[in-house]
Amino acid sequence: MIVHPKMRGFICTTAHPVGCNMNVRHQAEYARQHKINGPKRVLVIGSSGGYGLACRLTAAFSCKADTVGVFFDRPASGSRTATAGWYNNVSFEKLAGQDGCAFISINGDAYSDEVKKQTIEAIKSLPGGQVDLVIYSLAAPNRVNPRDGQKHSSVIKPVGKSFTGKTVDFHTGQVYETSISPASEDEIAGTVAVMGGEDWLFWIEELKKSGSLAPKAATMAFSYIGPTLTHDIYKDGTIGRAKEDLEEKCTMINSLLAQDGGRAYVAVNKGLVTQASSAIPVVPLYISLIYKLMKEKGSHEGCIEQMVRLFERVYSGGSQPNWDSIPVDEKGRIRMDDWEMDDSIQSGLDKLWAKVSTENLEELTDIAGYREDFYRMFGFGIKGVDYQADVEI
């Protein structure tokens, strides 16, 4: 089949298998070039895209770790392509196999008890039968809480007041003002239930109870803060409430892990184009400005560069880290957004933000780089791929 990008709203409903494969290979190659004396057995929850995929690649190809990956993706059926994450996982497995790293992949709902049980069985079947690092990198629209059967949905809305701000339709290049009314109490609670830390805590409780965590095991989940101009919609909005909950649960997880010398962290990552972030108003315009400024300064990173740097930071003292030597902020978070939040970048941003419009978008921002990264996520627009060729989906 000849596969073209097909858009519906914020997502591309097709994915190119050869392009996705190239994408994973490029990231694996970067990871291979950065050897890290890091964890040896790693569980990644949310391993087929964005930051989670980059973590699994770093674990396998920088650290030579065996990995278990959990994700929720759709295989191809009839003339419908698989999701990008499904192709990414196939490519990951091929490369990990070639490098002699053991791997087990579980495609199912990570929020469910069943997938947690399946994962524990998978960990037990690996050499050693335990993991020394658990990455929690889910971004999902819905969650069914397995303990009470309640279904929750997450929304991206401001809290307590309406939000009006600039955003961009990155397909047409139109910059316009968008207004979003405040979330209801139910919407706030729903977003916290889906994107907060409760499920992370459930995972660690189950893993600990089943003896699947090695002594001194670490776990990390990801957050975002961003500059003031995105706070109303992100940090102070529904998703920010969920991230506050993630930090609260991090404290609880820390108490659980401390008994065996382990540690839990929230890492605050850079804002990047992923399937999750492209759905947030304002963020695409902000990211296209940040891309421009950071590329000019030579400090731009993608998911793989961010995650390799994170692993290097955490494991700088070797595979058994000295937790107290890992640099953290006043709230104990690892700040991988340090280069994004650098004063020179943020003051440049403020100046450009005031001026940016439909007319000067291409000149003031790196909207071209944003678009490129968006299509690349689905395997399109990648050099060396013949998009006119008939491919097996």
Catalytic residue numbers read: 234
Minimum CB distance to ligand NAD, residue 224 (Å): 3
Of 13 and 358, the one with the shorter C-beta distance to ligand NAD is 13
Non-local (6+) Cβ contacts of 96 within 8 A are 60, 67, 102, 103
Of 130 and 269, the one with the shorter C-beta distance to ligand NAD is 269
Of 62 and 278, the one with the shorter C-beta distance to ligand NAD is 278
Structure tokens at 36: 């890290």
Q: Which single residue brings its beta carbon nearest to ligand NAD? A: 50
Minimum CB distance to ligand NAD, residue 143 (Å): 7
Minimum CB distance to ligand NAD, residue 310 (Å): 11
Of 100 and 149, the one with the shorter C-beta distance to ligand NAD is 149
Of 14 and 275, the one with the shorter C-beta distance to ligand NAD is 275
Minimum CB distance to ligand NAD, residue 296 (Å): 20
Minimum CB distance to ligand NAD, residue 215 (Å): 27
Of 195 and 385, the one with the shorter C-beta distance to ligand NAD is 195
Chain residues in the site for ligand NAD (CB under 6 A): 46-52, 70-73, 85, 109-111, 137-140, 222-224, 269, 271-272, 274-277
Minimum CB distance to ligand NAD, residue 25 (Å): 18
